[in-house]
Structure 1
Amino acid sequence: MELTRRHALAGAAALAAAPLLPTVSAQAAAPVADKQAPSFYRYKVGDAQVNVISDGVNNFALGDGFVLNVKKDEVNAALEKAFMPKDKMSIQFAPLVINTGGKLVVIDTGNGPAAFAASKGAVGQFIANMTAAGFDPKNVDMVVISHFHGDHVNGLLTADGGPAFPNAEVLVPATEYKYWMDDGEMSRASGERLTGLFKNNRRVFETGLKKKVTPYEWGKDVAPGLLAVESIGHTPGHTSYVLSSGSDKIFIQSDVTNLPALFVTNPGWHLVFDQDPALAEKTRRKVYDMLAADKMRVQGFHYPFPANGYVEKDGNGYRLVPAPWNPVI
């Protein structure tokens, strides 16, 4: 039916009169929900099934030094441009469970049970969400660690300090393991954060796992179809991966960038958590130039859930285009 001016005027009059009509309060059929459903998402890469498992979200006040080479006002402007609240950071965590068809492989393990308790459930959700997705930690064959920051390794242990994946081989980057287990490096460490990382890594890998790990090298498959790729700067042995199956593949970037609205858009910004910020920037630009040129799908540990999409060049930086939600696998 063609919309005429008479129809439009009649509709406007009806809307104007609506507030004069008596209102009837609706009775809720069920109590209001007080929590989200378990957070996991599945997609296929060839014959491999990727399961993105949320470990939660860490919300904290934006400090002056979160981006080392940019003033807080400029960071706030970038947050507001991305429709995020200023003066606040919300960092998400997305470990993976990959079913290769022959092996069940976990990549990174989240913040762990102690962080779950301290945050009142905001982070440390990996095991609960993984279990809700249908995976038993006892059935994991391999746990692959990208680097030794707490939000990636603390989930290796249970609340009582034992192995969270008791039957799994734990694979770690050889360069990363050598650095954090080196007594000389630990003695030269300065600053509360870096010295704390050394202590935490000794707790996880020496006390908890009794050094039962398998170091791996870059440029080789660490699991079926999972190629380890050097992407240093964030840490001395930081590692990304290319998961391939048939003609399909995806780049698993680990922490090449943190919050995309800041560090994908502005690859020259230096994150406080990057151990060598200049090298991290160099790696970031190299990786993102490759992703944009190859139009390769990318999975990011700190991307908004379900944490994957595509990257394109955008001025002096890049733009993350989230992959569309697919209701089927």
Structure 2
Amino acid sequence: MEISRRDALTGTAAVAAAPLLVSAPARAAAPAADKQAPSFYRYKVGDIEVTVVSDGRYTFPLEDNFILNAKKTEVSAALEKAFVPRDTMTIYFAPLVINTGGKLVVIDTGLGPVMKVNSKGANGLFAENMAAAGFDPKAVDMVVISHFHTDHVNGLLAADGNPAFPNAEVLVPATEWKFWMDDGEMSRAPAGRMQGLFKSNRAIFEAGLKRKVTPYEWGKEVAPGLLAVETIGHTPGHTSYVLSSGSGKVFIQSDVTNNPCLFAAHPEWHAYFDQDGDVAEATRRRVYDMLVAEKLQVQGFHYPFPGLGNIEKDGSGYRVVPAPWNPSI
């Protein structure tokens, strides 16, 4: 930045005059804020407006079995390399609200109001941040679900147990729906986390939602400009999307990776929450190779907010280069 001679002289005159000014009374410091401003971020894909809405984050101690095929020391080193604490893991959550001009579409719904209470406001924030962004849940036409993990479906219900989006059609991947609603699969599920997921999913989709659920197939447009893409491994019916309008295009990856400082940098690592680690790894490599080759921007549900970035190859893995913040839409 260059300063003109005129600006410099004006500034000098102001400084010289300063002693002649009446001193302003000292004021007490403002009270410290105890929370962030509502977190949402907008950008355009062609004529479609995308609003990324934060559902918060979850931080927990790094356990030995978080990555099934890597030592804890290796995972800690990768965290440290990313300039984050080496002994804790943070997972971010960011559903989307898409305004196509004719439809208001929500993609995934966050952890829900119960987790907002249980986490003391660290997550489960989608509903309040969505309201702060100016959206009325009653105006949502469609809710598109990528897969049936709690951080994507629990926000389908409001705090009173009724549908959070009462006028919306709920669209789910057909393969995902078939798996989680299959009694045989439920009977074979390992005790603990998997059995719990079967029970919670059925409770959510049977709580006034079943009549509004529409399964969709891969390779088809599920909403205007939104193409469903098979990206299995994380779950049997895990789905990502290509959002297109005019010359604009972005890949909405859902959970192809979790936090990229681990799983983009080390696509070979298998997290305990991937139902089929080998398939999830193959999907990760296939998708990220495509993103690199096509120079296609990606929106990550578990990327640090707001989660829009570009992918480049980095050794045997990948690096996410965050898209610069844009003050205009």
Q: Tell me, yes or no, whether TM beats 0.5.
A: yes
CA distance in 2, matches of 1:211, 1:286: 36
Match of 1:172, as an amino acid?
Answer: V
CA distance in 2, matches of 1:302, 1:27: 42
CA distance in 2, matches of 1:27, 1:305: 35
CA distance in 2, matches of 1:173, 1:277: 20
CA distance in 2, matches of 1:168, 1:212: 8
Deviation for aligned residue 1:179: 0.3
Aligned residue in 2 for 1:21:
none
**Unaligned runs of at least 5 residues, structure 2:** 1-25
CA distance in 2, matches of 1:131, 1:147: 24
Task: Give the root-mean-square deviation of aligned CA atoms.
Answer: 0.9
Aligned residue in 2 for 1:44:
44
CA distance in 2, matches of 1:116, 1:208: 22
The answer to whether the Cα contact below 8 Å between 1:161 and 1:208 also exists between their aligned partners in 2 is no
CA distance in 1, matches of 2:194, 2:261: 26
Deviations 1:164-190 (A, max 9, x none): 000000000000000000000000101
Aligned residue in 2 for 1:12:
none
Aligned residue in 1 for 2:146:
146
Deviation for aligned residue 1:209: 1.6
CA distance in 2, matches of 1:139, 1:127: 13
Q: TM-score, normalised by structure 2?
A: 0.91
Aligned residue in 1 for 2:21:
none
Aligned residue in 2 for 1:304:
304
Match of 1:187, as an amino acid?
Answer: S
CA distance in 2, matches of 1:306, 1:118: 24
CA distance in 2, matches of 1:262, 1:39: 24
CA distance in 2, matches of 1:157, 1:85: 34
Q: What does residue range 1-329 of structure 1 map to in structure 2 within 5 Å?
A: 28-329=28-329
Match of 1:233, as an amino acid?
Answer: G
Deviations 1:102-138 (A, max 9, x none): 1000000000011111111111000100000000000
CA distance in 1, matches of 2:185, 2:236: 12
Match of 1:275, as an amino acid?
Answer: Q
Aligned residue in 1 for 2:23:
none
Match of 2:289, as an amino acid?
Answer: D
Deviation for aligned residue 1:28: 4.1
Match of 1:30, as an amino acid?
Answer: A
Match of 1:103, as an amino acid?
Answer: K
The answer to whether the Cα contact below 8 Å between 1:148 and 1:176 also exists between their aligned partners in 2 is yes
CA distance in 1, matches of 2:81, 2:234: 26
Q: TM-score, normalised by structure 1?
A: 0.91
Deviation for aligned residue 1:208: 4.2
Deviations 1:197-232 (A, max 9, x none): 000101101234235300000000000000000000
Match of 1:194, as an amino acid?
Answer: M
Match of 1:264, as an amino acid?
Answer: A
Secondary structure of 2:212 counterpart:
coil
Deviations 1:45-76 (A, max 9, x none): 00000000000010111110111100000000
Between stretches 208-217 and 32-41, larger displacement belongs to: 208-217
The answer to whether the Cα contact below 8 Å between 1:236 and 1:275 also exists between their aligned partners in 2 is yes
State, as a whole percentage, how many aligned pairs show the same letter. Answer: 75
Match of 2:313, as an amino acid?
Answer: K
Figure out how many residues of one structure are paired with residues of the other and give that number. Answer: 304
Secondary structure of 2:232 counterpart:
coil
Deviations 1:285-316 (A, max 9, x none): 00000000000000000000001110010100
Secondary structure of 1:207 counterpart:
coil
Aligned residue in 1 for 2:20:
none
Secondary structure of 1:165 counterpart:
coil
Secondary structure of 2:210 counterpart:
coil
Secondary structure of 1:37 counterpart:
coil
The answer to whether the Cα contact below 8 Å between 1:96 and 1:107 also exists between their aligned partners in 2 is yes
Deviations 1:135-160 (A, max 9, x none): 00000000000000000000000112
Deviation for aligned residue 1:276: 0.3
